[in-house]
Structure 1
Amino acid sequence: MDIRNPHLRTLDEVELLLANARLRDELEPYRDESIDSSTGEMSLQVENEYLASMLAWERAPALPISDWFSPPLQMLPPEALGDEQLPSALRQVIGKLFAKNIVLRCTDHLSDRELYTVIYRDIMTCCEKMVDVPGKALEWMCVEDTDTWLRYYASPVERRRYQEEHQVDLPPSAEPPHRRHLPQ
């Protein structure tokens, strides 16, 4: 008789239940009704992953993104970089951000210098929770206004919905001028 099949499943379930109880105990100081209401339809394994990610979020420090790196990431000011240096500096910093699970979205409307400036001015100085949860990333949308999003990134359905909801004329749809293939 293979002892692993029926007993292993029971042991796994017990371990999952024990882990669930431990996670709920650790989340108790942060508890609100959202924990119970959002876990109702989940399997125990998925619920434990969800609770672990919530606990990681609650315990994570909020730091400027530049301080997520050891030593803190220092960038040259955009005006200190010549046109020849800029593409390499931009690729390097995007790679370092991606290594920390920071993914840039909607960048194709920005020139390299504009994107570098957004990273330097907005992203590196922004305080965010430094959460290390496998498979999760901090997504940074590099669009500052609705017109740009509607023009370059919104799908036809999103454009139609926006127009119906706001009763406004939309900017014409266009291809972004700076196609990039950033790490995802």
Structure 2
Amino acid sequence: MRETRRQAIDEVELMMANARLRDELEPYRDESIESSVNRMSLQAENEYLASMLAWERAPALPISDWFSPPLQLLPPDALGDAQLSHRLKKTIQRLHSKNILLRCTDHLSDRELYTIIYRDILPCCEKKVDVPGKAIEWMCVEDTDTWLKYYATPVERRRHQEEYHVDLPPAENPRFKRQLPGT
């Protein structure tokens, strides 16, 4: 009897939280909310709605400004190789601390990856959303051929070839194996 009563109270609390989340999301509402939540449990729906609300309310800031003080790097050409490699490792750890994960980096030298972080990632404005288990994944591949050459699985390569009727670059192992946080 007690278990059934507790379940009923939990269900009522979930429904009240759901109503509150829907009210708070009303100014941002579109058809994507309804089509997404119809297949979820009430608990999963509330988590989804809470993450949407966090997204809508989050400020869009340059990634460098997510840090206190802001993360500023020296220009790549101002650093020697050893100094750059050391700073790259520390920067990757700091990015990971803010749930920014780097993907597809093994084809890049340390200097090339540092340059991408300096030139592309840190100045990029993104929504800073603190939702557990959510991360920004930054794909460090600038073109399809590089992805096909180093990262695509045989199945992905075959699908790409069938879909686009193109010759594929030969598959190769990337030159710079890295063990990055979050991989």
TM-score in terms of structure 1 length: 0.97
The secondary structure found in structure 1 opposite 2:108 is coil
Instruction: Give 1:69 deviation, angstroms.
Output: 0.7
| Selected match of 2:24 from 20, 23, 26 | 26
Instruction: Give 1:87 deviation, angstroms.
Output: 1.5
The letter of the residue matching 2:119 is R
| Selected match of 2:164 from 150, 156, 166 | 166
Q: Which ranges of 4 or more aligned residues in structure 1 deviate by more than 3 Å?
A: none
**How far apart are the structure 2 equivalents of 1:120 and 1:86?**
12
For each residue in 1:14-58, what CA deviation from the matched residue of structure 2 results, as whole angstroms up to 9, or x when unmatched?
A: 000000000000000000011011101100000000000000110
**How far apart are the structure 1 equivalents of 2:13 and 2:89?**
44
The letter of the residue matching 1:140 is W
The secondary structure found in structure 1 opposite 2:137 is strand
Task: Report matched runs for 1:101-180 at 5 Å.
Answer: 101-180=99-178
- CA RMSD, aligned part only? 0.7
The letter of the residue matching 1:9 is Q
Q: Percent identity?
A: 74
Provide structure 2 residue ranges, at least 5 long, that are not aligned to the other structure: none
Give the length in aligned residue pairs.
182
| Selected match of 2:38 from 37, 40, 62 | 40
Which 10-residue stretch deviates more, 69-78 or 167-176? Answer: 69-78
The letter of the residue matching 2:154 is P
Which 10-residue stretch deviates more, 50-59 or 76-85? Answer: 76-85
Provide structure 1 residue ranges, at least 5 long, that are not aligned to the other structure: none
**How far apart are the structure 1 equivalents of 2:5 and 2:90?**
51
The letter of the residue matching 1:82 is G
Equivalence for 2:6: 8
Instruction: Give 1:86 deviation, angstroms.
Output: 1.4
**How far apart are the structure 2 equivalents of 1:84 and 1:60?**
37
Instruction: Give 1:7 deviation, angstroms.
Output: 1.3
TM-score in terms of structure 2 length: 0.98
| Selected match of 1:89 from 87, 90, 98 | 87
The letter of the residue matching 1:168 is V
Structure 1 position 52 matched with structure 2 position 53: no
Equivalence for 1:183: 181
The letter of the residue matching 2:96 is F
